[in-house]
Homo-oligomer: A and B are copies of this chain.
Amino acid sequence: MKQIAIVEDEVLMREELSSILQKAGYHICEISELRNVAEQLLSLSPDLVLLDLNLPEISGFGICQEIKQKSAIPVLVLTSRDQLRDELRALDLGADEYLTKPCRKERLLARVSNVLKRYEGRSNLLEGPDCLLDRLTYTLYIHNQSVILPKNQGKILEVFLLHGDQAVSKEELFLAVWGTTEYIDENALQVNLTRLKKTLANLQMDRQIVPVRGIGYRLISKEAKCET
């Protein structure tokens, strides 16, 4: 059953939404504590967030932005502010849908299921700034192409993507690829790294793997090679 988090300060409206969605078969979680909403949502990690914009004290926009930056949770904005400017801003911040109150329940349900369907099966996808990696199959999506990476290359790239542009130690790579740091064969890692480099270069990825002498490696943007 899909879980939906509702962020709405008015009790009546919240309960009505909750009731509608529950009858449609969703599991609801109402967020009533309006401090650290984004944090609450991230640790809850629901399948969808229903977000009101005009909350007291805090900005709905900020919540939307934070969720979108730190996760891939879909956000449906539902608000009484029927301002084009708000809509544009919400969409720009990454909101997946923008509906205005009052809203017929059929429309709400249709849009909710539409957004959910859109995200179906994407829970294993890891988003990088210039690519998308499927963590189950190690299928890499980049530049309108898709390629299946060999398992070892996939595991290595996964670690790099999880680290952003920070350095990754060799130990972490050993753990990720072979599940242990014992009986280390530096060369085996080296060979697999070389192969991954070649793969990424062939795909014309905007970033490349560079060594951090004595430590490990980093995945950084090609232009920024000189910095830091």
Interface residues of A (CB under 8 A from B): 84, 87-88, 91-92, 96, 104, 106-107, 110-111, 114, 118, 120-124, 132, 134, 136-137, 139, 141-148
Contacts and interface: CB of A to CB of B under 8 A. Distances in A.
B118 A143 contact: no
A189 B166 CA distance: 49
A81 B41 CA distance: 37
Given A84-B107, A110-B87, A110-B92, A146 B142 contact: no
Contacts of A144: 120-121, 123-124
Contact of A110 (B88, B110, B148): B88
Contact of A88 (B106, B124, B136): B106
B142 A147 contact: no
Contacts of A92: 110
B139 A121 contact: no
A58 B184 CA distance: 67
28 contacts: A84-B106, A84-B107, A87-B107, A87-B110, A88-B106, A88-B107, A91-B111, A91-B114, A120-B132, A120-B141, A121-B132, A121-B141, A121-B143, A121-B144, A121-B145, A122-B141, A124-B145, A124-B146, A134-B139, A134-B146, A136-B146, A137-B137, A137-B139, A137-B146, A137-B147, A137-B148, A139-B146, A148-B148
Nearest to A132: B121
A61 to B, nearest CB: 15
- Shortest 9 CB-CB contacts between residues of A and residues of B: A121-B141, A139-B139, A136-B146, A137-B148, A91-B110, A137-B146, A88-B110, A91-B114, A134-B146
Contact of A145 (B104, B106, B136, B146): B136
